[in-house]
A and B are shown apart, each in its own frame.
Chain A
């Protein structure tokens, strides 16, 4: 993967940009100020001023005036004046209204008080002074006069602008910070959007119950994840195809085995029939009857095995639809009726003349009933009774199949591995049916109903 396309690189760039940006904001903002404006250093001016005052010792007024004018030219923003030994003001340039023409003692005291530089008020921004005043005695002699230089504090390097009052700066800062937030949000929103899209693609099932592939938009980490996801889908599809093929092969194999086992059984049955026709001894006939019964059992077992294999693999076709259950029960009983009669069963049918509709596959439902009735014939024949009724209980209707055999716990000689009931369980579960057995040595009742 290209390092430039990496999300990590882009994230680091964003952070670096932020690191660089925050100190740069004031620098960018104040850069015109720093480059275009000359700020006076009060200490430097004060030193020069003291030195000049000392040098002007005993000089004439004209000399002092010229010298101060030249200083004023060096510091054009400063207001310069001097007071001679008689207390008269001499202005360099324009006269300031605040400065008296003739100084009294009180004027001097007031001026001194007002011009005093209060560091504490200045730093705390409590009504700070606007003017920085420097004064010096000419020739260090009060009789020769005082020279004064006043500089606006904003033109000195003491000058500061309160951040809260500097609205353009605040707006500039907020805009830059907002832009950074917006870029960061956009960066993460994009990541989130792609992750959510991927999560949606993962949870949305396609035609075959497998999610569809996603389109790889970028070649970054998420792009690689999308690629890996597509690869996984491919593998899943291949494995599903393989599974289908194996399932079909297995289904075919079981069907073929079932077919191949039934063919010799058919031949055996035919020959038993032939032999039976010409047998006269009752012992022979009895033995042949047993052989015939066992042939039937084997055929049923093969059938059950095939059904169970298909059912457990979910390959038994099912077509659920609204079915009149009592009608289905009647049709099943009608088919079994001659056998009940043959075994001289007492037949007790109690089905109401109304419609009871369940959503089931009629063929599967018939298989379940066939299985129950077959069990009665095989294992509860001794009771010579079959009762089939519809029972209302707690607002639900159950189909009840009763016999008077020796119960489930009794070891019947025909007892198998219980594959028939396993088939019933699987079919009932698929059709959302519930079945329960109550059994004792007096008989067995099977209750079949819809799951609540």
Chain B
């Protein structure tokens, strides 16, 4: 199923190029040049890309209204306004804020992260190295041994959190606070112990982990 993106951009050159580019990348794009008609397209939109400087209502107002009515539809601000105040104001309601001139590949990457993180359209399964993860049934299948991997509750949480941030480095504090929901105390070995047990279950060679990498002095990264 194609993902539908509502693109609100008044600049003709930028708007037409982005629409063409996103279409080429396999998305269905509805491009409009002002926020007045945004509401009528929201039923169909899976994601909104929104500029700030628009004729009539500005992007902040439109974004807030859209988010109020459609809280589950991710909104990405794509603006040439780079001041911190603008970013903070935008991130009050938007899920991401990207500044112009953006790199098209980064735009696609961010759209994918948003879609995955917010579960707009969950792919049936993701493959990470020799693992196949079925997101509907929460099954982790080892393709090298053709066996299901059984994880404990905490191990599964850690695994899914790293998977949601695939290829991103996460600090120990970020992982601990997301999984345990508690304040991380520097030097706490709990996470390290859980990662070690997790690796024993998912890695082919625990002395040379390929899925969960340790980034020395910082944290961990799940590599695809």
A and B pair up: yes
Q: Does A331 lie at the interface of the complex (its beta carbon under 8 Å from any beta carbon of B)?
A: yes
Q: With A266-B101, A273-B104, A355-B186 as given contacts, are A259 and B53 in contact (CB-CB < 8 Å)?
A: yes
A306 within 8 Å of B (CB atoms): yes
The answer to whether A269 touches B84 (Cβ under 8 A) is: no
Q: Is A327 positioned at the interface, with any CB of B under 8 Å from its CB?
A: yes
Instruction: With CB as the reference atom, state the residue of chain B lying closest to A292.
Output: B103
Q: Which residue from B18, B171, B187 sits with its C-beta under 8 Å from A354? A: B187
Q: Confirm or deny: A349 has a beta carbon within 8 angstroms of a beta carbon on chain B.
A: yes
Complex: how many Å from CA A263 to CA B53?
Answer: 11
When chains A and B are docked, how far (Å) is the Cα of A265 from the Cα of B101? Answer: 6
Contact B14 A267 (CB under 8 A): yes
User: Which of B100, B104, B187 has a CB less than 8 Å from the CB of A265?
Assistant: B100
Cβ of A299 under 8 Å from chain B: yes
Contact B82 A262 (CB under 8 A): yes
Residues from chain A with Cβ under 8 Å of B14 in the complex: 263, 266-267, 270
Which residues of B have CB within 8 Å of A399?
none
Contact with A along B116-146 (1 / 0, CB 8 A): 0000000000000000000000000000000
Measured between beta carbons, the chain A residues less than 8 angstroms from B221 are 337
Q: Is the CB of B103 within 8 A of A269?
A: yes
B17 and A270 within 8 A (CB): yes
A277 to chain B, nearest CB (A): 9
Decide if B101 touches A259 in the complex (CB within 8 Å). no
Chain A residues contacting B70 (CB-CB under 8 Å) are: none
The answer to whether A349 touches B218, judged by C-beta atoms less than 8 angstroms apart, is yes
- How far does the alpha carbon of A407 sit from the alpha carbon of B173 in the complex, in Å? 34
Smallest Cβ-Cβ distance to A336: which chain B residue: B169
Q: Is the pair A258, B82 in contact by a Cβ cutoff of 8 Å? A: yes
Judge whether B101 and A299 touch: CB under 8 Å: yes
List the B side residues contacting A95 at CB < 8 Å. none
Q: How many residues of A contact B (CB 8 A)?
A: 42
Docked-complex contact A334 and B215, CB < 8 angstroms: yes
Counting CB contacts under 8 A, is A426 at the interface?
no
Q: How far is the CA of A274 from the CA of B104 in the complex (A)?
A: 10
Q: A269-B103, A273-B104, A334-B171 are in contact. Are A349 and B80 (CB under 8 A)?
A: no
Q: State whether the Cβ of A216 lies closer than 8 Å to any Cβ in chain B.
A: no
B150 to chain A, nearest CB (A): 30
Question: Please, how many angstroms separate the alpha-carbon atoms of A351 and B103 in the complex?
Answer: 32
B73-105 at interface with A (beta carbon < 8 Å): 79-85, 99-104
Asked if B168 and A334 sit within 8 Å, CB to CB, the answer is: yes
Cβ of B49 < 8 Å from any Cβ of A? no
Pick from A270, A326, A331: contact of B186, CB under 8 Å:
A326
B56 cross-chain contacts in A, Cβ below 8 A: none
Residue of A265, A270, A274, A331 with highest tally of chain B CB at under 10 A: A270
State the CA gap A267–B102 with chains docked (Å).
Answer: 10
A316 within 8 A of B: yes
Cα distance, A317 to B89, chains bound together (Å): 12
Instruction: Return 17 A-B CB contacts under 8 Å, by A number.
Output: A258-B80, A262-B82, A263-B14, A265-B100, A266-B101, A267-B14, A267-B17, A270-B18, A274-B17, A327-B173, A334-B170, A337-B221, A338-B169, A349-B215, A352-B186, A353-B186, A363-B84
Q: Which residues of B contact A (CB under 8 A)?
A: 11, 13-14, 17-18, 21, 53, 79-85, 99-104, 167-171, 173-174, 185-187, 215-219, 221
